[in-house]
C-alpha cells in the first residue's frame, strides 16, 4: 500500500515556497509515496516543471481557491473558508482520496476543521495534539496534549494516555511504551483532582504501561516514552522549552561574537557546536499529530523550512503505515466492551 | 537598621557544611548584617572557631534539637517537629528576634510551617512561591506561583500579581514593573476561566502595571518583569526549564569529550563556555520567596552550595531593607478600603 498524503500547500509562513519543494524532495527520496498538493493551481503548477516523470506521476494538484490566514479565528475559518486549501486537504482524507493530510497553517483552525470534518473516534471526547521532543538518552519523549484542550478531565487524560501509547508504539517501534502523568513535586498537594483520578483509571487497565507521576524535567531525561498532561500545562511546557533553548542559543552566539579571539575560537569549535545543535534541532522533531480523529492529520510548525516540512510528511507516512487511528479505536473498543470506561 | 537573618542551619542536602560557611562568607562581606544560626549547637559551635571578632560578634547560635527531613510530610513536620531548626528559625521571625529566615529544607514543610506560625497578610488567601529566572536581556523575570497552590482562583492570581509587582520593585529597583498573566496561544480557547477573570480584575486597577497575556517563552525573552500563573503550571515550567538546560549541558559535555580533537577544542573554548554557563548559572538565582506571609521567608534550593546559599541570604537582606511584606499590605489595604477587592 502506497501512502497518499494531501498537503495544504498554501499553509504556513512560506506557503508553496516551502511546501512544494518539500513535496518534491520527499517524492525523490521515497518511491512508495503519492502526494496531492492542495491550493492555488496557478501558483503551484509552474513550480513543478523540470521534474522527472517518476516524480510527477506520483504528484497531483487539487485546486482550492481560498486560504486560511495564520491569525484567523478558527470559527471564522470553519464558516467562511469552505474552499480553503486546509479544508479541501482534510476533505480528501474524509473522502478517502488521501490517507493523511499535513498542514503548516493556523493550528486552531486546523483542529476545529479536522474535528468538524473527520469527527472523533468512538470513545474519544476531544482530539489532542502530540509531539516528540528530544531527550538526554538520544531518543524522543512524546508529549500530549500540547494545547488543544484546557481544564482536561481525568477521563480525557486517560484517553490521551491510550492515544499516546499507540502513537509511541507506531512511531518508535516500541512494544510497550511507558506512560507518565505530568504532576508537581509536593507530596501533600500532589496534583489536582483530574490528575489523581486519571492515575487511578490508568492503574486499573493493562492496555497501557502506566508507570506513575513524572515532573517537567522528566520530559528531557527520557524517564518515560509518553508524558500525558492537560493542554494548558503542555503548551506552557513546550513554549517554555522553546524560550530556554532560544535564550541559551542567543547567549552562545553572543559569547562567540564578543571579540576577535572568541570569533576564532568559534570557528574552531563550529563543527562541535553544530553537532550539539543537531541533537536538539527542532526541525527534526517537526510534525505534531492531531490524535483522536477518524483520520490522520499532521500539524507542521508554521515557520517550517523544507527539511522541517519533510519531517512532518514522514510522520504522516508512518502513521498511515501503522494505521494509528484504527489501533486507537481497537484499544478503546476493547475497553468499552469490557465496560471499564464509558 | 541592620538586618537580622535567621538561618535554618540544618536544612538542605548538606546542612551546616554549606550553611555555616555561607553565613561566615556573608558576614565577612557585609558589615551591616547579623546572622542567627539555628540548629544543633554541638555541631555548629566548633565550626565557628578561628574567625575574627568582627564576624563572631554579629553571629549567634540558637539551639534546636530536631531536624525536618527532606522527604518528611509537611503535616508531620508541623505536628511533630516543634523544636526543629526550621520551626525555631521561623519562630524567631514571629517573635521579632529576626527580620527574615532562610532555609534550604523541605519546601512543603517550610511553606506549611511558615503559614501556620506567621499567618498570611490581610487580603491574601494563600502565600505563593516566587523566584527570579534569567532572560535574554540579561535581566531577570520573576515568576509566581512556582508550586505552592494548585487550581488557583482568579482572586488568587490577582493577589499574586500584586505581590509579584512589589517584589520586583524591591529586588530590581523597578518603578513600575510590568506584569503578564501566563496563558496559551490559541485565541478562541484562550485561557481557563480563572486566567480570563484575573485579566479583568488586573485591568481594573492602577496599582499594578498589567500588560496582558504572555506565553511560556516570554519568561526567557524578558517580555515582562513578572509572570503570574497557577502553581501547577509554574512548577511544570520551572522543572521543564531545568530539564532542558540539563539536557543541553549534557550534550555540550558529551560533544566536547568525543575524541582528542574535540577535547582540545574544548580546552580552547573553555573560558567562553564558562561565560555562557555563568549567564544561566542557577546558583545566581537561588533564593525563592514565600510571599504573602506576615514575615520574610526565603527558600534556598536543597542542593545549594556555599555561593548559592549566599544568594538566598542576599535575597533576604533586600526584602528586609525594602520591607516587602508591609509594602504588599499597604497596596492591599488601599484596594480593600476602596472596596475594589474582597
Burial of A181 by CB count in 10 Å (0-12 exposed, 13-18 middle, 19+ buried)?
Answer: buried
More confident residue, A71 or B84: B84
What's the rounded mean pLDDT across residues B214-240?
A: 95
Q: Is the pLDDT of residue B169 over 80?
A: yes
Q: Are B161 and B179 part of one and the same domain?
A: yes
Q: Looking at the domain assignment, is residue B64 inside a domain?
A: yes
A interface test, pick of B220, B222, B260 with most A CB neighbours within 10 Å: B220
pLDDT one-digit tens code per residue, B39-70: 999 999 999 887 888 888 999 999 999 999 98
Position A185 scores a pLDDT of 75
Q: Looking at the domain assignment, is residue A19 inside a domain?
A: yes
Give the separation between CA B35 and CA B6, rounded to whole angstroms: 6
pLDDT one-digit tens code per residue, B112-126: 999 999 999 998 999
pLDDT one-digit tens code per residue, A242-277: 999 999 989 988 888 889 988 988 888 888 888 888
- Find the residue in B nearest to A256 (Cα): B272
Position A340 scores a pLDDT of 54
Q: Could you tell me what percent of chain A has a pLDDT over 70?
A: 98
What does the mean pLDDT of chain A come to? 92
Q: Is the pLDDT of residue A202 over 80?
A: yes
Q: Are B116 and B184 part of one and the same domain?
A: no
Q: Could you tell me what percent of chain B has a pLDDT over 90?
A: 71
Q: What is the 8-class DSSP label of residue B15? A: T
Position A281 scores a pLDDT of 80
Contact (CB<8Å) B276/A252: yes
What's the rounded mean pLDDT across residues B90-104?
A: 97
The structural domain count of chain A equals 2
Q: Are B114 and B134 part of one and the same domain?
A: no
Q: Are A211 and A239 part of one and the same domain?
A: yes
Q: Are B305 and B197 part of one and the same domain?
A: no
Confidence of residue A191 (pLDDT cuts 50, 70, 90): confident
Give the separation between CA A213 and CA B122, rounded to whole angstroms: 36
Position A331 scores a pLDDT of 86
Contact (CB<8Å) A217/B240: yes
Confidence of residue A51 (pLDDT cuts 50, 70, 90): confident
What's the rounded mean pLDDT across residues B207-211?
A: 93
- Find the residue in B nearest to A138 (Cα): B251
Q: Are B117 and B214 part of one and the same domain?
A: no
Q: Looking at the domain assignment, is residue B342 inside a domain?
A: no
Q: Is the pLDDT of residue A187 over 70?
A: no
- Find the residue in A nearest to B274 (Cα): A255
- N-to-C CA span, chain A: 35
pLDDT one-digit tens code per residue, A23-50: 999 999 999 999 999 999 999 999 988 7
Q: Looking at the domain assignment, is residue A144 inside a domain?
A: yes
Confidence of residue B139 (pLDDT cuts 50, 70, 90): very high
Contact (CB<8Å) B243/A221: yes
Q: Are A268 and A304 part of one and the same domain?
A: no
Q: Looking at the domain assignment, is residue B139 inside a domain?
A: yes
The packing angle between helices A324-337 and A306-322, to 10°, is 40
Position B284 scores a pLDDT of 77
Q: Are A139 and A272 part of one and the same domain?
A: yes
Do A140 and A133 meet the contact criterion of CB atoms below 8 Å apart?
Answer: yes
In A135-269, the DSSP E strands lie at 140-144, 178-182, 209-214, 226-228
Confidence of residue A215 (pLDDT cuts 50, 70, 90): very high
Q: Is the pLDDT of residue B341 over 70?
A: no
Closest-CA distance, B30 to chain A, in angstroms, reads 32
ipTM computed for the complex: 0.90
Q: Is the pLDDT of residue B1 over 90?
A: no
Position B112 scores a pLDDT of 94
pLDDT one-digit tens code per residue, A284-323: 788 999 999 999 999 999 999 999 999 999 999 999 999 9
Lowest-confidence range among A96-110, A176-190, B3-17, B164-178? A176-190
Closest-CA distance, B213 to chain A, in angstroms, reads 12
Q: Looking at beta carbons, which residues of chain A come within 8 Å of B276?
A: 248, 251-252, 255
Q: Is the pLDDT of residue B339 over 60?
A: no
Q: Are B313 and B269 part of one and the same domain?
A: no
Q: Are A179 and A267 part of one and the same domain?
A: yes
How many beta carbons lie within 10 A of that of residue B278, not counting itself?
Answer: 12
What does the mean pLDDT of chain B come to? 92
What's the rounded mean pLDDT across residues B279-299?
A: 90
Position B340 scores a pLDDT of 54
More confident residue, B247 or B337: B247
Contact (CB<8Å) B236/A255: no
pLDDT one-digit tens code per residue, A52-77: 888 889 999 999 999 999 889 999 99
Do B193 and B328 meet the contact criterion of CB atoms below 8 Å apart?
Answer: no
Closest-CA distance, A85 to chain B, in angstroms, reads 21
Q: Please say whether the dihedral angle defined by the alpha carbons of residues B174, B178, B179 and B180, taken in this order, is positive or negative.
A: negative
Give the separation between CA A231 and CA B254, rounded to whole angstroms: 33
Q: Is the pLDDT of residue B187 over 80?
A: no
Give the separation between CA A261 and CA A263, rounded to whole angstroms: 5
Give the separation between CA A107 and CA A299, rounded to whole angstroms: 7
What's the rounded mean pLDDT across residues A165-185?
A: 92
Domain extent, residue B3, equals 1-122+292-324
Most confident of A254-268, B207-221, B275-289: B207-221
Q: Looking at the domain assignment, is residue A341 inside a domain?
A: no
Q: Which residue has the cell 542567543?
A: A250
Give the separation between CA A292 and CA A311, rounded to whole angstroms: 21
pLDDT one-digit tens code per residue, A121-157: 998 999 999 999 999 999 999 999 998 888 899 999 9
Q: Are B174 and B247 part of one and the same domain?
A: yes
Q: Looking at the domain assignment, is residue A182 inside a domain?
A: yes
Tell me, rounded to whole angstroms, the distance of Cα B307 from its chain centroid.
15
Q: Looking at the domain assignment, is residue A266 inside a domain?
A: yes
Q: Are A138 and A269 part of one and the same domain?
A: yes
For residue A38, give the CATH number of its domain.
3.40.718.10
Confidence of residue A199 (pLDDT cuts 50, 70, 90): very high
Amino acid at each position: 500500500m502506497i501512502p497518499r498524503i494531501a498537503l495544504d500547500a498554501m499553509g504556513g509562513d512560506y506557503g508553496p515556497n516551502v511546501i512544494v519543494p518539500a513535496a518534491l524532495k520527499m517524492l525523490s527520496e521515497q518511491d512508495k509515496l503519492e502526494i496531492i498538493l492542495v491550493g492555488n493551481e496557478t501558483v503551484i503548477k509552474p513550480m513543478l516543471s523540470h521534474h522527472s516523470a517518476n516524480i510527477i506521476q506520483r504528484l497531483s494538484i487539487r485546486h482550492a481557491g481560498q486560504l486560511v490566514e495564520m491569525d484567523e479565528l478558527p470559527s471564522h475559518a470553519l464558516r467562511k473558508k469552505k474552499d480553503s486549501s486546509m479544508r479541501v486537504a482534510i476533505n480528501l482524507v474524509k473522502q478517502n482520496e488521501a490517507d493523511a493530510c499535513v498542514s503548516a497553517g493556523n493550528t486552531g483552525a486546523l483542529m476545529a476543521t479536522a474535528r468538524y470534518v473527520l469527527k472523533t473516534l468512538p470513545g474519544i471526547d476531544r482530539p489532542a495534539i502530540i509531539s516528540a521532543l528530544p531527550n538526554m538518552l538520544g531518543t524522543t519523549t512524546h508529549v500530549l496534549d500540547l494545547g488543544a484542550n484546557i481544564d482536561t478531565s481525568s477521563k480525557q487524560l486517560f484517553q490521551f494516555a491510550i492515544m499516546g501509547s499507540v502513537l509511541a508504539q507506531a512511531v518508535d517501534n516500541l512494544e510497550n511504551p511507558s506512560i507518565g502523568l505530568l504532576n508537581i513535586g509536593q507530596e501533600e498537594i500532589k496534583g489536582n483532582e483530574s490528575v489523581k483520578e486519571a492515575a487511578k483509571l490508568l492503574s486499573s487497565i493493562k492496555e497501557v504501561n502506566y508507570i506513575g507521576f513524572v515532573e517537567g524535567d522528566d520530559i528531557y531525561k527520557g524517564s518515560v516514552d509518553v508524558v500525558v498532561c492537560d493542554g494548558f500545562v503542555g503548551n506552557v511546557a513546550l513554549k517554555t522549552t522553546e524560550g530556554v533553548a532560544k535564550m541559551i542559543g542567543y547567549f552562545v552566539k553572543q559569547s562567540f561574537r564578543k571579540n576577535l579571539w572568541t570569533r576564532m575560537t568559534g570557528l574552531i569549535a563550529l563543527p562541535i557546536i553544530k553537532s550539539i545543535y543537531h541533537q536538539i534541532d527542532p526541525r527534526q522533531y517537526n510534525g505534531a499529530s492531531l490524535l483522536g480523529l477518524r483520520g490522520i492529520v499532521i500539524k507542521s510548525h508554521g515557520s517550517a523550512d523544507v527539511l522541517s516540512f519533510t519531517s512532518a510528511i514522514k510522520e504522516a507516512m508512518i502513521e498511515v503505515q501503522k494505521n494509528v487511528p484504527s489501533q486507537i479505536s481497537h484499544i478503546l473498543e476493547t475497553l468499552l466492551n469490557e465496560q471499564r470506561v464509558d
